[in-house]
Amino acid sequence: MAKMEPNTIAILTSNDTKHTNADDVMGFAQNNDLLYLSGIDQGNTTLVLYPDAYKPENRVVLFLEEASEHSKQWDGEKFTKEQARELSGIKRVEWQKDFEKILQLMAFEADGLYLGHNEHIKRVTKDQQTQQDRMIAWCKQKYPLHEYHRAAKITRELRPVKSEEEIALIQKAVDISVVSFQNVLQRCKPGMKEYELEAELAYNLVKSGATRHSFKPIVASGKNACVLHYNENSSTCKDGEMVLMDFGICYANYNSDTTRCFPVNGKFTARQREVYTAVLNCLKEGSQLLKPGMLPRDYEKAMAQLVEEQLITLGLLTQEAIKEQDPDKPLYKKYFMHGTAHYIGLDVHDVGLYSRPMEAGMVFTCEPGIYIPEEGIGCRLENDYLITTNGNLNLSEAMPIEIDEIESLMAQ
């Protein structure tokens, strides 16, 4: 509220529940800006903020869907006003059916409106309409002469720096991931399907009380690991192959994102060991660059150089070829074609500007990789790091990553 323009109202809405076909639904995931500001994880919810309202009771208003006897019978209870007050700390809670009437009593006193929208570099909004889109259209039709502002500009400034409570929830998500990975290592054997390893992740997720996968897990054996977003998870894990497993846990709406690689038969081949060691070296050296003041652009440039050096060591590139390369089409991109750090929090790729220097309290991934399709080897290793005042803290430190540790666990 302190960052809003004078005499403006912010309106933040919940997400829709998405349907599959007929009457089935995909499940509900709350709009993360609304969740961040209110703590309410329920559909058909609206938060109205008007810090300069003349009447104090109009400065923060939470609107909820009122449960009917019919909806209770079929879908269960919804928040009562008392429960919502207790959870959110918001004193004034009203029913959603009164939103239009109450807003109108406030809107003509205000000069402008802040509205939410899913502004994200990874989000493709073409041909999609959301609750936020409908709110924007409704407000502009109802209040065409007001000034309009973007709530996302404020929330993307606030959300990257995590509170202690948020860090604890991300750590909990990572901790669940650690156990999941250990279970996979102890059960993997030649002839298993990739989805059988995925099932180990799902089992521990549910058993641990997590909300859901952060994203559909990538369980890619052999050459499948060279497809960055492979998630069919239907191939057979063959003797002599390596598995790349990129997965995350969503716990209380906060996410982890980790990647590990391991040999199907429990023993790395000489070449797998070379490639794995190269990527691990990049992770160890590159993660030290995650510290306050570092610009993501400079970090990514340094990471690319680390990978390039390892590609020379592996015999995939030569110094001579690199000297003659087109600087706009660097040769390393044949084997390493993605970025290595992204914000993580309420979203797996959390909101935040990559033109902003890193600050204490931010959480980033570090995920270098090397992919060699002609050898059927793809390797990526990923940890989650909390930026601290003097460097960073590896939240996924407990997840096995050293070759000897992985082989020892697989032998048990």
pLDDT confidence bin for 100, thresholds 50/70/90: very high
Helices (H), 208-295: 270-287
Over residues 44-51, the mean pLDDT reads: 97
Over residues 153-164, the mean pLDDT reads: 97
Nearest to 259 by CA among 379, 370, 373: 379
Q: Is the dihedral of CA 158, 159, 160, 165 positive or negative?
A: positive
- 3 state DSSP class of 227: coil
At 380, give phi and psi (nearest 5°).
Answer: -140, 140
Give the range among 70-84, 138-152, 166-180, 227-241 with minimum mean pLDDT.
70-84
Two tokens, residue 75: 């879908």
pLDDT of residue 124: 61
Q: Is the dihedral of CA 131, 33, 37, 2 positive or negative?
A: negative
pLDDT of residue 22: 80
Two tokens, residue 233: 């998870």
Q: Distance (Å, rounded) from C-alpha 61 to C-alpha 45?
A: 11
pLDDT of residue 378: 98
Please, what is the angle between helix 270-287 and helix 403-411, to 10°? 130
Amino acid symbol at 308: E
pTM of the model: 0.95
Nearest to 67 by CA among 78, 59, 56: 78
Two tokens, residue 182: 């250990």
Cross-strand pairs, 213: 249
Residue-wise pLDDT tens digits, 52-63: 999 999 999 999
Residue-wise pLDDT tens digits, 205-221: 999 999 999 999 999 99
At 366, give phi and psi (nearest 5°).
Answer: -135, 120
pLDDT confidence bin for 97, thresholds 50/70/90: very high
Q: Is the dihedral of CA 189, 192, 193, 199 positive or negative?
A: negative
Question: Which domains are delineated in the chain?
Answer: 8-158 (3.40.350.10), 164-411 (3.90.230.10)
Residue-wise pLDDT tens digits, 242-273: 999 999 999 999 999 999 999 999 999 999 99
Return the beta strands (E) in 171-257 as ranges.
Answer: 212-213, 218-221, 242-247, 249-251, 254-255
Q: Residue 199 class from Cβ within 10 Å (0-12 exposed, 13-18 middle, 19+ buried)?
A: middle
Over residues 113-142, the mean pLDDT reads: 85
Q: Distance (Å, rounded) from C-alpha 15 to C-alpha 32?
A: 9
Q: How far is CA 184 from the centre of its chain?
A: 22
pLDDT confidence bin for 73, thresholds 50/70/90: confident
